[in-house]
Structure 1
Amino acid sequence: MPSHSAQPLSNEEAALLEEGVELFDAGKFWHAHESWEDLWNDLKRRAAPIEEILLVQGLIQTAALLLHYERHNEVGVRKQWAKLTPKLSGWTLAWGIDVARHVEVIEGYASDAGVWTLIANDHRLPRA
């Protein structure tokens, strides 16, 4: 399957993405979700390609998955995994993020739900 290709973000959009990345990497998954939601809404407003809108939505859902993981909410983890997988599966790299590697790591958390041997705060977004 060919990988999607992301168009450059505006300065404002790039700032929202980076703010979310920094919050995510700090383990502040709820706050990362909020920053990326602002980016997601901006992309929808300007009618960005649907693949990019879904990419951001998938990133939001990875933050939500890790929040559920921290709270030992197995159902929440599994629901987020099911939602985010189709949104991120066609991506390799986007906006400096190694999306494919990120999905591999998140899959480990999804698989570990119910066992809880991992630490959510240990994951950082892999950079391309």
Structure 2
Amino acid sequence: MSNPQSEPTYTIGELAREFAITPRSIRFYEEQGLISPARTGQNRIYCNKDRVRLKLILRGKRLGFSLAEVKNLFELYDTNPDSAVQLETMLQLTEQKRAVLTQQLEDITMLMQELDDVEARCQEELSELKRGNIA
């Protein structure tokens, strides 16, 4: 639904297909104040800014950021697009996410070792039982 005289616009369906999400998800992000499409009657008209923000929302979610954290970054950018505060906030959030993931990785590694130990003990006992039945 592009308008050749100005910047391109998109329907909710076009964005939903492009990003492989539901229109309901897009409406939810709008309700949360993350995107704000123009309206023509009941129809939402999304501009390139909305499209870029949708892409950033989905990337943030994939990286483990909450919608509140994404919204905070958007607000910092809207207040001052060239703000070092936004970059510093993003660095802090990235550091926090990395720390959480590192801890989760350590926990998973420990659990995998425990599973290996349990499996080895079970295999050993099973072998002993089989040898006992054969002998």
Higher strand proportion (structure 1 or 2): 2
TM-score where L is the length of structure 2: 0.27
Structure showing greater radius of gyration is: 2
Query: Given the two structures, how large is their TM-score scaled by the length of structure 1?
Result: 0.28
1 or 2, which has the higher helix percentage? 2
